[in-house]
Amino acid sequence: MSHIELTVNGEKRSDDVEPRLLLVHYLREVLGLRAANVGCDTTSCGACTVLLDGKSVKSCTVLAVQAAGHDVTTAEGLASAGELHPVQAAFRQHHGLQCGFCTPGMVMATVGLLSENPDPTEMQVREALEGNLCRCTGYHNIIKAVLAAAEAAQASAWAAGIEESA
Amino acid sequence: MSILGTRVLRTEDPKFLTTGGVYTEDVTDDRLAGAYHVFFVRSPVAHARVNSVDVSAALDAPGVVAAFTGADLADQPVIRPAAAGLMNVEMIQRLLATDKVRFVGEPVAVVVTEHPYQGEDALELVEVDYDPLPAVLGFDPDDSSLLFEAAGTNVAGNWGDASQLKQDLFDGCEVVVSHTIVNQRLAPAPMEARAGAAVWGEDGRLTAWIPNQGAQGTRSGLAKLLGLEASQVRVITPDVGGAFGAKFGADPEHAVLGWIARRLGHPVRWAETRYENLISMTHGRAQQHTVTIGGSRDGNVAAYRLEIVQDAGAYPKIGAILPFLTILMTTGPYDIPKAEAVAKVVVTSTTPIGAYRGAGRPEATAAIERAMDLFAAEIGVDPAEVRRKNLLAPFTEPHRTAFGALYDTGDYAAALDKALAAAGYADLREEQKRRRAIGDVRQLGIGVASYVEITGMGDGDDTPPQENATVEVHPDGTATILTGTSPHGQGHATAWAMLASDELGIPVDKFTLKWGDTDLIPEGGGTGGSRSLQQGGAAVQQAAQELIEMARLRAAAQLEANAADLVFDKSRSAFAVAGDPEASVPLTQLAEDERLLVRAVFSAPGATFPFGTHVAVVEVDTETGKPTLRRVVTVDDAGVVLNPLLAEGQRHGGIAQGAAQAFVEEVVYDADGNPLTTSFADYPFLSATEVPSFELADMATPTTYNPLGAKGIGEAGSIGATPAVQNAIIDAVAHLGVRHIDLPVTSRRVWTAIQQAAAAGSGSEH
């Protein structure tokens, strides 16, 4: 057993885990955070995507011990005070989810993408989400939701800029 | 204003977006506390005699509670072929293989452990001695290696009699074209793989959590597999992460879980890996078509023949029934004076075939739409024009086809014209001409596919399609709906609430939808075959209307008024006396006095037939053969639309899956029957980079078969898109002399076809 200390959705956690325990299983089975799903064996599908220090990672390919000392954010940690995070809200607004299985991973990958590229083109969104598979939506409304979330963030950043300079 | 027909956002979304759905693996339940984990040992060979299975080493491994083999389950019922009476009765399956294995992935033994990681380890310790036999593969397997010795043949059965095909069918045709084409094997690959949990109660009943498409059918299936009465089984349906036809009923693995839970007197659970999913969940499609089409040089089709070979995989399951649906839809939307179709079903040492989005109908459409293009190419007439010439004229009274299908309503030419106009067809042809003239490396291809399909079929001719719903209004102003359908992404919680809200004046977000628990809802047809809205939704509306009428009588008694003098004010969800709005009583108060609940059963006169046309635009790099899908423009007429947001979502998903079949996805086996597409790194599951955003045009021809006027929309996209995209890619290189390329139309196949055509010198000069 290895001892790990890390922050998950803003809360300090400390546990003794098997060295081979995957981060996704730590989140799901030890912490009971089950939004991230396991959809494949080969790091291909992205249903387990979470943020590690703000960058999106596939938590099936990170060992829990590798996350020690780091900051993990899951879909459960995005919404605040009962309000959907703007990316979550955009997915709902544009019907960017159906069965929901890929959704938490898709949302986290989007948050990761927009933090690196706040104003992506449609092709950039498609390329950024290539590692997140969805069988229901044909990606159409996911792409729409991501572009809308980016636009809304740009608009509010612009508005905030106006406010600051005023 | 009515809420019906508006883009109401899904009420189920906040959960999925924040804490996530509660899929079978996520279920926490007191009854499952301390559940053991079940792992299946699966055959690594396609076809072999099983000499021995030794679990002793596994039993000694850490955390292993038990291990079982086929011999332990030998007294369980055998699984008989589907389509009883038509398929060879000797082609039986066991829950765990005993004497033989017949596909890579067939379960041979199970290991039960305390923790999941221990199971992964212990699986490796089970010793199985196989005596390999020759693999049985392809659409024409000979009988030199028999999957079932007792059957004496690898042909499972036939639909129709090939010896009765008419020799003179094409007499009088100026042109006859024939081609053998493949509708390849696909993996349904829902994002949530299969899973299950099982526990026996002290009452002697089995409770099983299974991701499925209809708990009631799953309960019957599970009971049958275990030799139980349906009343001894309760199926609970957690959230389901996609199904696409492949989660109908119960699988052998689910029965094994139930057997182990009883044997050990302890709850068990199972969640398969993606590897297991890709080799042992049923696959779809897997048909070979020989199409022959004949007609006049000016484009009138006079005769069409479809000869099908269905590869059913190792055991004849739903796959053996698919040709029935394909044959039923042989002529599609066309008025063809003479047509005939037959099918042969063969077994092979591959994963069994089941339903996959469209199940039999996409195959029929792909066959005739390819045939139409082959015919058009032969006579040198525009493929859209050939279609227009041969489409059935608009009809509003049901039309019976030569194959027995009863089309309810349709205006196929209008759908074609609308799609061509939306795509800018004439301009596209001009652009194509320009690129051909200059010998552009990136050639443009335009593909057209018209279709009609069948949705909301009943179980047979004797029982009309039906579905039940229960609506209850509670004193606190909330309401509950119980449905016999089984949503797994379609948005029933929102759609059913809209229908009831529209009758009851209760806001959509006050409704709770329940489904998929057979103790709570003993009857139901589930969700599949695009049946839910037209039958399940209609039942909800009917229940809500009946509830209003029941409440009216109670309100009349309470207000001491004549029931006929009461008006229902939806804005207040209350009855009031006409002309005296002060004298009123809300539904909530009536519910307080006595439970306000109605169960209704909606029966439809028959199946409905949505239709449409898809136009696909591709660019093909003639140097590499790489096709790039640029546009898909569709008209999908499924009658009256309840919620455009949801209907469009169904279309998008279907179009993507259809396009994926056209040029991306295929399950591949090597010559020894080893599957080569066993992970998402190898199975080319469609990603966001391979498709464009789609262009949807609206058209709504109501059906008279339900009060909503709605037909099914779940599978339409996957039916139209495959031939449209396939036709487009072939069209892009048609001027080089290419007439046909099999599905999936990959870069390599396109490149090869171009080379072969060049070698044959068959290209037209430009």
Would you call A135 and B21 a contact, using CB atoms and an 8 Å cutoff? no
pLDDT for position B764? 57
Q: Say yes or no for a CB contact (<8 Å) between A137 and B656.
A: yes
Q: CA nearest A102 in B: which residue?
A: B191
pLDDT tens for A2-26 read: 999 999 999 999 999 999 999 999 9
Chain B residues with CB under 8 Å of A97 CB are 13, 16-17
Say yes or no: B491 contacts chain A, CB-CB below 8 A.
Answer: yes
Chain B residues touching A100 at Cβ < 8 A: 12, 16, 20-21, 239, 241, 489
Q: State the pLDDT at residue B766.
A: 44
In Å, what is the CA distance from B456 to each residue of A153, B254, B358, B383, B681? Answer: 43, 27, 12, 31, 36
Nearest C-alpha of chain B: how many angstroms from A111?
13
B-chain residue closest to A20, CA distance: B117
Substitution target in B8, B16, B240, B508 with the highest count of A β-carbons within 10 Å is B16
What pLDDT band is residue A156 in, cutting at 50, 70 and 90? confident
Q: Does A19 touch chain B (CB under 8 A)?
A: no
Instruction: Look at A100 and B239 and tell me if their CB atoms are within 8 Å.
Output: yes
pLDDT of residue A151: 95
Query: Is A122–B490 a contact, with Cβ atoms under 8 angstroms apart?
Result: no
Please, which residues have CB within 8 angstroms of residue B232's CB and are 6 or more apart in sequence?
Answer: B204, B205, B206, B223
Q: Which residues of B touch A79 (CB under 8 A)?
A: 17-18
pLDDT given at position A165: 65
Residues 54-73 of A with CB under 8 A from B: none
Q: A94-113: per-residue pLDDT in tens?
A: 999 999 999 999 999 999 99
Distance from CA of A81 to the nearest CA of B (A): 12
- A125 touching B, CB under 8 A? yes
* Cα gap B404→B609, rounded to integer Å: 13
Could you read off the pLDDT of B508-524 as tens digits, one per residue? 999 999 999 999 999 99
Which of residues 81 through 110 in chain A touch B, CB cutoff 8 A? 84, 88, 91-93, 95, 97-104, 107
SS3 of chain A: helix, strand, coil, percent, to 5: 40, 15, 40
pLDDT at B458: 81
pLDDT at B23 over 80: yes
On whether any CB of chain A is under 8 Å from the CB of B642, the answer is no
Buried b (16+ CB within 10 A) or exposed e, B262-293: beeebbbbbbbbbbbbbbbbbbbbbbbbebbb
* pTM (predicted TM-score): 0.97
Q: Name which of A35, A40, A142 is nearest B20 (Cβ-Cβ).
A: A35
Nearest Cα of chain B lies from the Cα of A163 at a distance, in angstroms, of 31
What count of Cα atoms within 13 Å lies in the side-chain half-sphere of residue A6?
26
d(CA B525, CA B532): 9
Domains of chain A: 2-77 (3.10.20.30), 86-165 (1.10.150.120)
Per-residue pLDDT of B667-687, as tens digits, reads 999 999 999 999 999 999 999
pLDDT of residue A160: 76
pLDDT at B761 over 90: no
pLDDT of A29-56, one tens digit each?
A: 999 999 999 999 999 999 999 999 999 9
A-interface mutation test, from B6, B9, B11, B17, most A Cβ less than 10 A away:
B17
Is A135 touching B (CB cutoff 8 A)?
yes
CA B80 – CA B86 distance, rounded (Å):
12
The candidate with the shortest Cα–Cα distance to B487, out of B756, B241, B669, B157, is: B241
Mean pLDDT rounded to a whole number for chain B:
97
Beta carbons of A135 and B653 less than 8 Å apart: yes
**Has residue B110 got a pLDDT over 70?**
yes
The reply to whether residue A98 touches residue B653, judged by beta carbons under 8 angstroms, is yes
Structural domains of chain B, with CATH = 13-135+194-280 (3.90.1170.50), 284-455+607-760 (3.30.365.10), 466-603 (3.30.365.10)
Among residues of chain A, what percentage have pLDDT more than 70? Answer: 97
